[in-house]
Amino acid sequence: MSEPRVELSSELPGVPNAFQHLWTPHRLVYIQHGQQPADHECPFCLAVNKSDEESLIVYRGKTAYALLNLYPYNSGHLLVCPYRHISTYDLATPEEVAEIGEITQQAMRVLSKVSGAHGFNLGMNQGEVAGAGIAAHLHQHIVPRWRNDANFFPIIAETKALPRLLGEVREQIAQSWSSVS
């Protein structure tokens, strides 16, 4: 396999932009043949029937809950999911939408306090074609960010440096959840 090629936007045809392009043809297999679980194997549906520690849940609400991402982009990367197995945001009830928003706000406050996050990436990938790893169950990502947290590990070494274990992070977030306002 050849080395990934980084192209400068100034070298590309068309209107130059601020993006640098990293060509990753090895990802085509994943894109064309997404690895979606069957509905009865949905990890978000299965998680709520396990202990919080085992499923990495940090908070359980009435219609939605928050858990750590098993494959985090950064330490403290949380997911907010409705209990109901629905695939897109437009299928959520007004109560679910409100609670997902409330949980997201509280998660940001907690992560700011316990990890000193300087900012956040929030997002929902709706559908397999949009990049949802689990397309059948709605979930929102909350990724804490810090100044200077980017490096070349993920690109060059296909490695992400995570300074804390998931269990430690889950415990600290869960313990701080109700005390942060």
Residue numbers of the domain that contains 111: 36-179
Does residue 134 lie in a domain region?
yes
Residue 157 has what pLDDT?
A: 54
Does residue 5 lie in a domain region?
no
Residue 53 has what pLDDT?
A: 95
21 is catalytic: no
Residue 17 has what pLDDT?
A: 59
Residue 159 has what pLDDT?
A: 58
> Which residues have C-beta within 8 Å of that of residue 162, sequence separation ≥ 6?
72, 74, 75
Residue 71 has what pLDDT?
A: 81
Into how many domains does the chain fold?
A: 1
Q: How many CA atoms lie within 13 A of 129 on its CB side?
A: 0
Does residue 149 lie in a domain region?
yes
Does residue 13 lie in a domain region?
no
Residue 52 has what pLDDT?
A: 96
Does residue 104 lie in a domain region?
yes
Does residue 92 lie in a domain region?
yes
Residue 153 has what pLDDT?
A: 52
Question: What are the mean pLDDT values of the chain's consecutive 10-residue runs (181 residues total)?
Answer: 57 58 54 66 93 96 96 90 96 98 97 93 88 89 84 55 79 90 78
CATH code at position 100? 3.30.428.10
- CA 104, 110, 115, 118 dihedral sign is positive
Residue 24 has what pLDDT?
A: 58
Does residue 26 lie in a domain region?
no
List the catalytic residue out of 26, 85, 118, 139.
139
Measure CA 4 to chain center: 25
Does residue 8 lie in a domain region?
no
Give the torsion through C-alpha atoms of 119, 124, 130, 134, to 10 deg: 120
Cross-strand pairs, 59: 66
Q: State how far the Cα of 179 lies from the Cα of 173, in Å rounded to an integer.
A: 10
> How far is residue 169 from each of residues 57, 77, 124, 149, 164, measured CA to CA in Å?
11, 10, 22, 17, 7
